[in-house]
Amino acid sequence: MAAEGKTIDALSQFALSPIVAGFTNSNLFMLVAAGAISALMILGMKPRAMVPGRLQSLAEVAYEFVAGMVKEQVGKEGMRYFPFVFTLFMFILFGNMLGMLPYAFTFTSHIAVTVTLALIVFILVTAVAIAIHGMRFFGYFFPEGAPVALAPIIIPVEIISYLSRVVSLSVRLFANMVAGHVMLKVFATFVVLLGGLGSLGLVGAAAPLALNVALVAFEFLVAFLQAYVFAILTCIYLHDAVHLH
């Protein structure tokens, strides 16, 4: 996993490889994440205990965390979309966390994946807004009370900012995961390269090793935070869709 040869190769960890036909290593980890989420929620809740055990507590904490987020951001009527937000949050969280395991593939580091997830959110939010408000949804792009003369400026700006949600959602997650894993890989390669330089190099290798230890902890934080940000932005967009500002 570390340096292949004497050069720094930080990007090969993102390379897709087919397992069966079009099913890639990335998809394998999606499957693992989906399986782990289902197992946690279904097996964890199996005891249906009044006083929960560890796994059941974890399942309940995940449920209440996302439910609280949806209720707070979207409101009571937003609980219709709770299963979706929960699936999205857990899927990204598990994808990020699984990526922290050595030799694992981080599927959230693929822009194609994050764009797909962002598009799902975008289409859902737009569909919800149109379903609830019909044609009034398009008033969203021109705030009431604004001078009509400004319409040629305001409307394109609002439309661009609405569309750019897809970009900001997907690029934020993608860039965070890529940057983190590239940094980990670069410093890990330093350790190996310096370690190969003899006894002085071993002393020198301690610094990037220590840095990597700190980085791993930081990446766990980022892994959680990015899943949280993705989910909470989804909730905020849903709020806009349900209430139109």
Residues that bind other proteins (CB under 8 A): 11-12, 14-18, 21-24, 26-27, 30-31, 34, 37-38, 41-42, 45, 48-50, 56, 59-60, 63-64, 82-84, 86-87, 90-91, 107, 109-113, 116-117, 120, 174, 178
Q: How far is the CB of 198 from other proteins (least distance, A)?
A: 34
Min separation Cβ 210 and other proteins, Å: 28
Residues in the chain, total? 245
Contact 165, 237 (CB under 8 A): yes
* CA 28 to each of CA 16, 18, 23, 98, 118: distance values in angstroms, whole numbers, following the listed order: 11, 10, 7, 11, 21
Q: What is the dihedral of CA 236, 237, 242, 245, to 10 degrees?
A: 80
Which residue, 41 or 191, is less far from other proteins as judged by CB? 41
Nearer residue to other proteins within complex by CB, 53 or 196: 53
Q: For other proteins, give the closer residue by CB, 56 or 191.
A: 56
Name the residue nearer to other proteins (CB basis): 59 or 128: 59
**Cα–Cα distance, 129 to 122 (Å, whole number):** 11
Q: State the minimum distance, in angstroms, from the CB of residue 232 to other proteins.
A: 18
Instruction: Name every residue whose Cβ is closer than 8 Å to that of residue 21 and which is 6 or more positions away in sequence.
Output: none
CB of 53 to other proteins, least distance (A): 12
Q: Which residues pair with 20 in a beta bridge?
A: 23
